[in-house]
Amino acid sequence: MTAATPPLAPTVGPTLASTLFPRTRVVAIALVIGGALLTTVCAQLKFYLPGNPVPVSMQTFAVLLAGATLGSRLGALSQGLYFLMGLVGLPVFVEGTNGRGGWEAATGSTFGYLVGFIVAAGVVGWLAERRQDRNVVTSIQAMLAGTVIILTLGTVWLASFLDISMQRAIELGVAPFLIGDLLKLVVAGLALPASWALVNKLRD
């Protein structure tokens, strides 16, 4: 008898960024900065859902997109840079148009979400490196995983920071944004397979 061959681990493939751009250190730095700037811009783009007085920004959309296009390492670094930009006082957070930045804003009630951005970008990037961004079903699943990470870390920190129950934290930090986050993850999940289809068509 011969021992059964263990299943092979998923093959790590190229991301959209590594497919479109040269794999050099300068390009990697530029992509990390670009991911941080994209998150900054999207943090200022707000819209309101019917019947909901709480504005929804495009910030998490940028986080998911950065992770999926840049991969785990560069995606996480881009969100780490975004956090550091806000930490040193740059008005990059959702409240940035009001001049918010600095230590208090970075480590306040939204700190859990900001940490979630870094983790989510890394996880979504890890999944993208394993070709989970190539078809609609797995791409949406990857974006859902990233969204769950952001909301979970954000809610746990919010409950601790405000000294409130998890139920109340969910009411404050999840419920008002749930529909918007679902819409954003679906759009991001559709965008990646479409982008790959376009890239493959142009390469052929």
Which structure tokens are listed for 26?
A: 């300068």
Whole-number pLDDT of residue 9: 45
Q: Which residues contact 200 (CB under 8 A, 6 or more apart)?
A: none
Mean pLDDT in runs of 10 for the chain (204 residues)? Answer: 48 87 96 97 82 75 97 98 95 66 87 96 98 96 97 95 94 89 95 95 82
Whole-number pLDDT of residue 54: 60
Give which of 172, 168, 124, 167 is closest to 148, Cα–Cα: 124
Whole-number pLDDT of residue 188: 96
* Domains along the sequence of the chain with CATH: 16-203 (1.10.1760.20)
Whole-number pLDDT of residue 125: 98
Distance between the two ends of the chain, CA-based, in angstroms?
46
Q: Is 152 exposed, middle or buried (0-12, 13-18, 19+ CB in 10 A)?
A: middle
CA triple 183-91-97, angle to 5 deg: 65
Residue 130: C-alpha distances to residues 36, 108, 138 (Å):
23, 35, 10
Q: Which amino acid is at 180?
A: G
Whole-number pLDDT of residue 47: 74
Neighbours of 73 (CB within 10 A): 15
Residue 27, classed as helix, strand or coil, is helix
φ, ψ (nearest 5 deg) of residue 136: -60, -45
d(CA 30, CA 201): 26
Which structure tokens are listed for 70?
A: 């840049």
